[in-house]
Chains A and B, each alone.
Chain A
């Protein structure tokens, strides 16, 4: 159950006489203000101030307390979060305190000039005098209050419950609050601050711990865990375990009780629309469309082909006709006859025809004729063997042509011969290898494997060098250069080029320029040029050799598995799992009792102080009353109050804890206050309405006459 704010404006301010005190419970989390003698405070709100910027007007405004979050959409709250005037229960920012008091008095319905009512305001135990005097100053100077009294909230709560016989006049008030936890011993109905102790841990820390745990456990939903929400969750789900360790073990084992104790918060979740698998009809329709489109494409290609064939056939017919005509024409008239066709000689026409024939064949899908046999070719070179001086100029040209054609065909011939020889050589090698294999198969295989390994490593290394620079291989000289950043992205060759370029760029004007004196200097440009990247042929050779060995190994060795290229196929991207309802469930298991447990073990959040149960012992020790009876009376009347005492199970746990530090058989009675949250204000209200209240207040005159030292030792008498 979250605390509820009441911020409605009151309209009966003027009905109260100026002797009726205003009672303020100025708690670190909530501010409560009301009239003395009433049972409920009039105005309650969170003790925070925000100073956001109003979006429409651009004004920086002051907003006190908690309001309907829907209204905050008109404000830009990004610059400043909610601020508190407190640090560890001590008011230290009086500007914020003033805003809060402004708001509080305004909502109480204050009009007129000044607040003409005595004020009873709570403070923490042993409030530093500076904070106290600043508060007094603020109330006197700014609001013009006639008199003030300071009291401790936990003490008021204890007195309130004492009056209702919940606890006795001797006892302990344990008050786990918002920022701190106090234990105050009471003797004869008066608090003994000498015996009190304070641990700087409270509900704030529990919520903070809970929030951190949740956002670490569910990072995706971090934005959901706002302070207010976690505060609500804490109040709804958290409880104090009787014995932390055994409770945690239950959860570790996954016992049934643990399952029952696990709570869940379902975040709003809308299932994504389910994609329906396409129906048969749909599939068929799509296939039909595809088929149709394919058909059309095929038809278009066919049409194009046939038109091309047609064209070529026409051309061929034309050329054949021309040749036919040429047959009837005199040799000398050929040139004039051909003038208008664009051809020069009969040969040209013939070659054109053969070209057309070939392309026609290609179009029709027939095999192109393989190179004509060379046998008859020799007679083509009719002029070669005739000495130059016996030829005419025309014939000389012809001879040169023939010569070049002959050398070309000779070269081709030689290449063929070479290939054939290589083939022979390879066969011979294979033969040799086969022989060796037969001689000693084991050794042979071993050698083959070693060779394979060598080669593949070599190739791998080169690849790494090329793609990854020298970072991963330390075989090469320049392996030290940049394993991170730019160096890593460049291959060795690229880096070398960069080096050359930079040295070339920056080495001007250094001594004598001798560049170009040697021929090798010009090689530099070749190295710098980009085409240099395409690797030399050596790796190719290695690759073919590797392929050969691996195929051979595959033939001979059944256990051999050729290394697959690891980087060829990039790892398949992880499939995104569709989010389910479960992904939007916030499960509270151990957290339910782990968070409040920090009240008992503050060192879990790095606060090296005793926990709640031990504080009772510390308090008694400090009191050092040496009166067994009194101590027994005190442990027989332990009141637990304050907002953090609302956790279920805290009373039982405290009892167990305190029993451990007390002598065996001592009476122990622990009770929770009637209303741990409101009783402090109610006690203060009852106190302020008592006839003797005015004897406990001090006026502005008192304050200025008696000075700070007096204020330091100022202390209320709670039993009037």
Chain B
């Protein structure tokens, strides 16, 4: 039986990470054996932060959470969701901000999907759960 092999150029470029690496004490296939369900052996950042129990430490000690920036004190610049110009107006129907009548005409002709994508850019889209 002919054993299928990788293409020569793929081998030449050493594109694929070898399974065995001599400098490793534990190989990948030992750590994560094939065929076994890996499950989720990692935590999301949120879980990591929760596990850190930052509330048990003095608040003036810097940590990942308390060095985060506060909300801005400056008045928010509002820009047109479509064109990026200054947006003095707001369309209550689509929730989009717009710069002038031309843009308004355009947003009223937009399908809802695009509207949601525009809103999604500033994290204001309607999310159905």
Contacts and interface: CB of A to CB of B under 8 A. Distances in A.
A615 B69 contact: yes
Contact of B26 (A68, A74, A142, A209): A142
A92 to B, nearest CB: 5
B121 A212 contact: yes
Nearest to A660: B74
Bin the interface of chain B by size.
Answer: 35 or more
B93 interface: no
Contacts of A591: 84
Nearest to A615: B69
B99 to A, nearest CB: 7
A200 B72 contact: no
A194 B77 contact: no
B52 A56 contact: no
A605 to B, nearest CB: 6
A605 B120 CA distance: 8
Interface in A115-129: 115, 124-129
Interface in B10-42: 10, 13-18, 21-26, 28, 31-32, 38, 41-42
Given A56-B4, A67-B13, A142-B26, A601 B77 contact: yes
B92 interface: no
Contact of A92 (B45, B70, B120): B45
Nearest to B46: A87
A93 interface: yes
A600 to B, nearest CB: 9
A112 B32 CA distance: 23
Given A71-B9, A90-B45, A92-B45, A102 B28 contact: yes
B67 A126 contact: yes
B44 interface: yes
B91 interface: no
A57 B5 contact: yes
B14 A102 contact: no
B125 to A, nearest CB: 9
Nearest to A49: B17
Given A9-B14, A71-B13, A251 B23 contact: no
Contacts of A279: none
A646 B4 CA distance: 47
A61 B16 contact: yes
A102 B17 contact: yes
Contacts of A196: 62, 67
B121 A213 contact: yes
Contact of A87 (B26, B44, B63): B44
Interface residues of A, number: 77
Given A142-B25, A216-B114, A128 B64 contact: yes
A395 B42 CA distance: 115
B117 A216 contact: yes
A196 B67 CA distance: 6
B73 interface: yes
Contact of B17 (A99, A144, A594): A99
Nearest to A126: B64
B90 interface: no
A198 B69 contact: yes
A94 to B, nearest CB: 6
Interface in A250-280: 251-252
B67 A125 contact: yes
Interface string B50-85: 011000000011111001111111101101000111
A312 B80 CA distance: 87
Contacts, number: 185
B85 A248 contact: yes
Contacts of B62: 125-126, 193-194, 196
Contacts of B86: 245, 248-249, 252
A618 interface: yes
Contacts of B84: 248, 590-591, 594
A182 to B, nearest CB: 8
Interface stretch (A103-111, A378-386, A439-447, A680-688): A103-111
Given A63-B17, A131-B48, A197 B68 contact: yes
B48 A106 contact: no
Contact of B45 (A88, A141, A213): A88
A115 B23 contact: yes
Interface in A514-572: none
A44 B31 CA distance: 26
B64 A106 contact: no
A165 interface: no
Contacts of B13: 67-68, 71
A335 B46 CA distance: 116
Contact of B42 (A94, A110, A251): A94
A179 to B, nearest CB: 11
Contacts of B122: 603-606
A638 B16 CA distance: 43
A611 B52 contact: no
A98 interface: yes
B4 A57 contact: yes
A323 B20 CA distance: 115
Contacts of A112: 22-23
A198 B48 CA distance: 18
Nearest to A619: B69
B43 interface: yes
Residue of A98, A142, A618 contacting most chain B CB atoms (<10 Å): A142
Contacts of A423: none
A74 B32 CA distance: 25
Contacts of A147: none
B101 interface: no
A614 interface: yes
A62 interface: yes
Given A56-B6, A105-B23, A610-B72, A251 B17 contact: no
A63 B26 contact: no
A113 interface: yes
A406 to B, nearest CB: 76
Contact of A103 (B17, B44, B64): B17
Contacts of B45: 87-88, 90, 92
B3 to A, nearest CB: 9
A609 interface: yes
Given A87-B45, A248-B85, A610-B69, A143 B14 contact: no
B123 interface: yes
Given A126-B64, A248-B86, A93 B25 contact: no
A594 B43 contact: no
A54 interface: yes
Listed from nearest, the 8 A-B pairs whose CB atoms lie closest are A606-B123, A590-B84, A594-B84, A193-B62, A87-B45, A62-B17, A609-B69, A199-B69
23 contacts: A57-B5, A62-B17, A67-B13, A90-B48, A92-B42, A95-B42, A114-B24, A125-B67, A126-B64, A129-B52, A130-B51, A141-B26, A143-B23, A248-B84, A252-B86, A252-B99, A601-B76, A608-B71, A608-B72, A609-B68, A609-B69, A610-B72, A618-B70
Given A125-B62, A130-B52, 5 more contacts: A54-B10, A111-B23, A143-B24, A244-B79, A594-B79
